[in-house]
Each structure stands twice: as structure tokens, then as C-alpha cells.
Structure 1
Amino acid sequence: MTVHLEAWSEEDLGLLHRLNAPEMTAHLGGPESDERVADRHRRYLAPGSGMFRVVLDGVPAGAAGFWPRQWQGAAVHEVGWSVVPECQGRGVAVAAAAAVVERVRATGGPRWVHAFPAVGNAASNAVCRKVGFTLFGEVSFEYPPGSFMRCNDWGLEL
């Protein structure tokens, strides 16, 4: 199995719609409107966006990326990932998350990377543990904007 990251491209809008399915967004507040998905796609295409297509053995399998965030008074990078159902349970998300951390490390900047999976998202919490993040505990986290959810705060010092 070979997993790598590639730059987000115009052709990835369909992948983003697949990742917006109810079963893929259950821990994120549910699917976004088509308009919001199109806006997200445009942001992912922007130079320096930090978002990537996850590729498994030459086939698009998901998305992963990083972005700046202020967290508890400090500048950090937040990371996230999503893998289509038929590629789950095979270590793809772990490989993608590790690759994103390496991309963050290469950019310099803040020395901490954080991930905020929902408390009930066992798979994403396991990814954090397997990549080497430290669990700092549960937090109230705003996502999507205007909605708060219970998340685990996982951090990794670069």
C-alpha cells in the first residue's frame, strides 16, 4: 500500500462532494450545502492553502491538510483528514496524518500541531494516538462556526 499527498486541484471537487456525505460528516455537524462545498473547494485551491488530496495506490482516497489557528493564546497549526469509506480501516488516515505533520514541519512556524476530533470519533482519535500526538483532554470547540461540540485536544510538538 502506497499513500501520499498531492496538491489539491480543480478535479478534486467531486472528491470533496464524496467527503461531504452524511456518513463522512457525522462527527462534524453534518453535510454542508453545495454552495459551502464549492467555497471550501475554492479555498483549498488557493496558493499556500495547506490542503492536499490523499492518494492510495494512485487513486484519490481523501483529503488532509493544515491551517494556522490561535489556540489557548498561542499560534499553532491545526491538522485534519478525511478518507472515503472504501479506503478506511487500512491505515490510510494514519499515513495521511503523518504526511501532513511532515508538511507542517517543513514549513517552519509554530512548534505545535493540534487536532480536534470529536470525543465520539473513535477512528480519528486512534489516528492521533498512532501518529504520536499527546491527548491534552476534552474541550468545547466551535465547529462549524456558531456551533460548539465536545472534542479531544491532541497536540504534537514539532
Structure 2
Amino acid sequence: MDPALIRLEAWTDADLALLRLVNTPQMRRHVGGPESEERTLLRHRRYLDFVPSGTGRMYRVVLEPAGVAVGTVGYAEREWRGGTVYEMGWNVLPPYQGRGIAATAARAAVGAAARTARHRYLHAFPSVGNPASNAVCRRAGFTLLGETDFEFPPGRPMRSNDWRVDLRALPDGPTGSA
């Protein structure tokens, strides 16, 4: 996918409709299934709070030239193995899957994290049974550290791959502490 055809736009209150579009059995089959409306609203408020709180960034993924929102990508702080890291996730709506949009959007979000992040590492934890998301990690420049037990959503254990990007190793990487 030509990176010029993908634009990341900051998450706004209007993106609740997009969040509802990705909250389907098909889209959430690898992460515990659809969330209740209450949980969806909580997630949306958390996404809106990422920038003011300094804990992450959430974006809608826009496909050009039509300017249509086709998915989401973002990262947020989490505790992992004794330290604070960023965790990244993404969604691309079914009609737009298989075109390289997720990998292109993930690369753009990794670049944004490298320019603004407070932490050294950014991780993604796709299920070992999700070949598409694992391919996105590979194509977006993450390094596979291996399999791990992971909880997502909280209370639901799953076997995941631990993929990582060292934000300091990127050309635009931060110089702050890990």
C-alpha cells in the first residue's frame, strides 16, 4: 500500500461510530468477541483521554483519495515485565482488508510513537492464531520475541506472540528513559 494513500487522524468524539463498526464478532474474534455498549463507551472515552493524559494516541485510519475512515490504529501505556511500555493495536474494516492498509497504518503509528513517546519499547500482542495480525507486525517492522501468555480483554487468557519495536533504534526515536 502506498503510504501516501493512508492518513492517520487524531481520534475525536465523532469516532464512536467507527469504534462500533469494529465491535463485531468478525472483527473481534481473536480478542474475546464484541464488547457491550457500556464497554464500548468506556473504550471510546479512554481513547479520547490518551493525549490529554499523555498515556498514548489513538487514530482513525483514512484511505485517500476518497477520505473514508477504514479502520483504527493506536498505542497506549501498559505495564509489561516490570516496566512501562506502549502496546499497539489496529483494526481494518472487512471491505478494506488484505490491501496492506493495516501494515501501512501501523508503520505510520510506530513513526508517531518514535517522535513523541516517553517509553523505549512498543509491543503488539496478537493471538498466535491470528496470522493476519502477525503478518502486520512483521511488515510494520516489529521483531518477534516469542510466544507469551497474555490477558485480553482482562480476565481472558490467550496465547499471544510478543512483537516489539525499539523506538530508540528508529531514526526519529525518543531520547527519554524507558
The alignment's TM-score, normalised by the length of structure 1, stands at 0.96
Q: Is the 8 Å Cα contact of residues 50 and 58 (structure 2) preserved in structure 1?
A: no
Query: Which residue of the partner structure matches residue 173 of structure 2?
Result: none
SS in 1 for 2:159: strand
Aligned to 1:132: 141
For 2:72, give the aligned amino acid: A
Alignment partners' CA distance in 1, 2:120 and 2:45: 28
Instruction: Give, in whole Å, the separation in 2 of the partners of 1:146 and 1:154.
Output: 21
* Residues 1-80 of structure 1 mapped to structure 2, 5 A cutoff: 2-46=5-49, 48=51, 49-57=56-64, 58-80=67-89
Q: Aligned to 1:50, what secondary structure does the other structure show?
A: strand
2:122 to 109, 113, 129: 113
Q: What is the identity, as a one-letter code, of the residue corresponding to 2:74?
A: G
Paired residue type of 1:26? R
Give the C-alpha shift of residue 47 in structure 1.
5.3
Tell me the secondary structure at the aligned position of residue 106 of structure 2: helix
Following the alignment from structure 2 to structure 1, what is the Cα–Cα distance between the partners of residues 72 and 23? 11
The code of the aligned residue for 1:13 comes to: L
Runs of 4+ in 1 over 2 A off after TM superposition: none
SS of the residue corresponding to residue 81 of structure 1 reads: strand
Deviation at 1:43, TM superposition (A): 1.4
Aligned 8 A contact 2:50 2:76 in 1:
no
Task: Structure 2: give runs of 5+ residues left out of the alignment.
Answer: 168-178
Question: Could you tell me which residue of structure 1 aligns to residue 156 of structure 2?
Answer: 147
RMSD, aligned α-carbons: 1.1
Letter in structure 1 aligned against 2:20: H
Instruction: Compute the TM-score of the two structures, normalised by the length of structure 2.
Output: 0.85
- Does structure 1 retain, via aligned residues, the 8 Å contact 2:141–2:165? yes
Q: Percent identity?
A: 54
Report the Cα offset of residue 122 of structure 1. 0.4
Residues 8-42 of structure 1: CA deviation (Å, up to 9, x unaligned): 11211111111001000000000000111111111
Provide the rounded CA distance (Å) in 1 between the counterparts of 2:146 and 2:117: 26
**Aligned partners of 1:64, 1:32: CA distance in 2, in Å?**
18
Partner of 2:154: helix, strand, or coil?
coil
Task: Structure 1: state its 5+ residue gaps.
Answer: none
